[in-house]
Amino acid sequence: MATKFVLTLALCRLIVTVGLMSLDPRELIGINDHRFSLDPAQLESASRDFGGQNQAEPLAIFHPTSADDIRGLVQAAYESGHGWAVSARGHGHSINGQAHAKNGVVIEMSGSKQLPRVDESLKYVDVWGGELWIDVLNYTLRYGVAPKSWTDYLYLSVGGTLSNAGISGQAFNHGPQISNVYELDVVTGKGELRTCSEEQDSELFHAVLGGLGQFGIITRARIALESAPQRVRWIRLLYSNFSRFTHDQEYLISLHMLPAAQKFDYVEGFVIVDEGLINNWRSSFFSPSNPVKISSVVGANGGVLYCLEITKNYDQSSAHTIDQEVGELLKELQYIPATEFTTDLPYVNFLNRVHKAEVKLRSKGLWEVPHPWLNLFIPKSRIDEFDKGVFRGILGNKTSGPILIYPMNKNKWDERSSVVTPDEEVFYLVALLRSALDGGEETQTLKYLSDQNRQILRFCDDAGIKIKQYLPHYNTQKQWMDHFGDKWPTIYQRKMEFDPKHILATGQRIFQPNFRTYTGSL
Ligand SMILES: Cc1cc2nc3c(=O)[nH]c(=O)nc-3n(C[C@H](O)[C@H](O)[C@H](O)COP(=O)(O)OP(=O)(O)OC[C@H]3O[C@@H](n4cnc5c(N)ncnc54)[C@H](O)[C@@H]3O)c2cc1C
Ligand SMILES: *[C@@H]1O[C@H](CO)[C@@H](O)[C@H](O)[C@H]1NC(C)=O
Ligand SMILES: *[C@@H]1O[C@H](CO)[C@@H](O)[C@H](O)[C@H]1NC(C)=O
Ligand SMILES: *[C@@H]1O[C@H](CO)[C@@H](O)[C@H](O)[C@H]1NC(C)=O
């Protein structure tokens, strides 16, 4: 098996390196191994991602039919004299080429359809690493159950979000998605297929969670389930006073230890710096029957508004108490009176809400544009300064996309995982989810937005605000060492142990490839 891989790869390389394009590569590959593809359209597609900012074409695409296929591929790369890079690609929704494999092989994870399996006790579901969360949800709902912790958008792969953290408005309560995994099957950079959990092979388990694809490829994840709610009460409240806004958010997440009836199920929020945003992504919420007169509520705050977004789940058995429970909670909050917007919808529609916006943007050709996104974790103690310096400073009055802000409880994050968060009990996510439109106004160009991102990072640096990037992107190992901070020795150790040749996820640019690259002769 391994020899066959080497041969096939060598052929790919020969064709690419020497340029023997007159030989039909598909024919060669077809004869050797139907799981490889050199189809230019597939290569092109794997060379791009949601960020749309850089391209790197792999030598070949690999379509696995099982975890063992992946094991064989990585083992061949590991054992060959001239290694090659291997990157799992979930749904390619990275921003900065994290799933690319320059001079290597991209494994298309999401193509392989392996049915999930819900355990008889309904406590967990086993899913293929390339499964999309939307399909996990669709499947578990047949059993009346669903995962507990989500991302805002569900067309992301399980392996892709677990390699980062996976966060949304449930994280304050259930922790990120990586805190809701019981067991994993992982192919390490040595080509071993291992089952790991907190009890078994725990170092690998913790390494892979939030591990940016550096230590292994997740082929199966066992994900915690809860009974699926039927409906969602979805509420938005406006603030012009930032300290009141954050006070209320922090109050709401402090209720995490209370029984379900006495807390919300989801706490997020976003910043509105221009009226245009109201007509932008995700804002169908403010419907014509529900108009927001921004001018009537804008305070002395440089026109910036903050919107608290909360939900409460319910079903038939709790339908008669939902109004009262929500009422009790809202009484404690200090939003601008009469700026309460409420929607009621099925649970699935709430979870899949961003897809609606996607369909709309796609129809206008505004989905496949560059996305210079920046996601930051900010310690609670410095969030006021960030507001003054960024929301009411650097951003000006055009944002080109939604800006999310919500706090999380660090005690819901497992310190043993590979993800890094600020050194405070409560920290915020600030997500600047902007779309660039070249040819539009200057403030909407990729260059303008990228410069602004750098300016924001520099502002934090100068002010000594110890942020951590979420979905981090750096170009040098020195920067990565700063990012990981105290965790760097652990990360380094884990890399030496689980991927000593630095084969995996080279698109993250954390470790230089540690193998002799192929030079052209068989
Ligand atoms: C519209 C949109 C909304 C988003 N919303 C949220 C959100 O609410 N919360 C949140 O936390 N994130 C969110 N994200 C970010 C998202 O979680 C990450 O970009 C994630 O990496 C995307 O998953 P993917 O399957 O497309 O990963 P890819 O881009 O394919 O891969 C990401 C990284 O993970 C590695 N990888 C992929 N699969 C595996 C695997 N099976 N095993 C090991 N490593 C693997 C890749 O090699 C790469 O390094 C959003 C992204 C987009 C585009
Ligand atoms: C859920 O799965 C069914 C088939 O099992 C399919 O018809 C339906 O379109 C899926 N829904 C979504 C939202 O993907
Ligand atoms: C914002 O709210 C805080 C706390 O209620 C208050 O002390 C402060 O004066 C308010 N700021 C403005 C500008 O109204
Ligand atoms: C915001 O826009 C107005 C014009 O619409 C302009 O006068 C003002 O200077 C802008 N403010 C900032 C901070 O860019």
* Residue minimizing CA distance to atom 6 of ligand 4: 397
SS3 per residue for 273-299 = CCHHHHHCCCHHHCCCCCCCCHHHHCC
Q: Which atom of ligand 1 is nearest to the CA of 216?
A: 43
Expressed in angstroms and rounded, the spacing between residue 388 Cα and the centre of ligand 3 is 14
**231-470: CATH architecture:** 3-Layer(aba) Sandwich (3.40)
Q: Say if ligand 2 is within 6 A of residue 138 CB.
A: yes
d(CA 196, CA 316): 39
Q: Is 241 in the pocket of ligand 3 (CB under 6 A)?
A: yes
Q: Across the chain, how many H-helices and E-strands are there?
A: 17, 18
Burial class (CB in 10 A: 0-12, 13-18, 19+), 453: middle
Q: Is 174 a known active-site residue? A: no
- Which tokens in the block code for residue 392? 């009411």
What CA–CA distance (Å, rounded) separates 431 from 402? 8
Number of the ligand closest to the Cα of 274: 4
Specify the residue for token string 């402090």. Answer: 254
Q: Enumerate the domain spans of the chain.
A: 6-110, 117-227, 231-470
**CA geometry: angle 513, 519, 522, nearest 5 deg:** 120
pLDDT confidence of residue 438? 81
Look up 152 and say whether it is catalytic: yes
Give, for all 522 residues of the chain, the pLDDT tens digit. Answer: 444 554 455 445 544 443 333 333 334 444 468 899 999 999 999 999 999 998 999 999 999 999 999 999 999 999 887 778 999 999 999 999 999 998 899 999 997 667 899 999 999 999 999 999 999 999 999 999 999 999 999 999 999 999 999 999 999 999 999 999 999 999 999 999 999 999 999 999 999 999 999 999 999 999 999 999 999 999 999 999 999 999 999 999 999 999 999 999 999 999 998 765 544 434 445 544 455 555 555 554 557 999 999 999 999 999 999 999 999 999 999 999 989 999 999 999 999 999 999 999 999 999 999 999 999 999 999 999 999 999 999 998 888 899 999 999 999 999 999 999 999 999 999 999 999 998 878 999 999 999 999 999 999 999 999 999 999 999 999 999 999 999 999 999 999 999 999 999 999 999 988 776 544 433
The answer to whether domain 6-110 has CATH 3.40.50.300 is: no
Q: Which residues of 122-148 are buried (b: 16+ CB within 10 A; e: fewer)?
A: eebbbbbbbbbbbbbbebbeeeebbbb
Position in ligand 1 atom list of the atom nearest CA 98: 49
- State residue 295's pLDDT score: 52
What pTM value is reported for the model? 0.93
Within 6 A (CB) of ligand 1 lie 49-50, 87-94, 98-99, 109, 129-130, 151-153, 156-157, 159-161, 163-168, 212-213, 217-218, 471, 505, 507-508
CATH classification number, 117-227, choose in 3.30.43.10, 3.30.1490.110, 3.30.70.20, 3.30.465.10:
3.30.465.10
Q: Kindly state the helix (H) or strand (E) to which residue 405 belongs, with its residue range.
A: strand 403-409
Whose CA is closest to atom 4 on ligand 1? 153
Task: Please tell me the predicted confidence (pLDDT) of residue 8.
Answer: 56
- ∠ Cα 285 288 293 (to 5°): 85
Any idea which ligand is nearest the CA of 335?
3
Supply the DSSP string of 108-151, one letter for each residue.
E-SS-----EE-TTSSEEEEETT-BHHHHHHHHGGGTEEES---
- Centroid of ligand 1 to alpha carbon of 35 (angstroms): 23
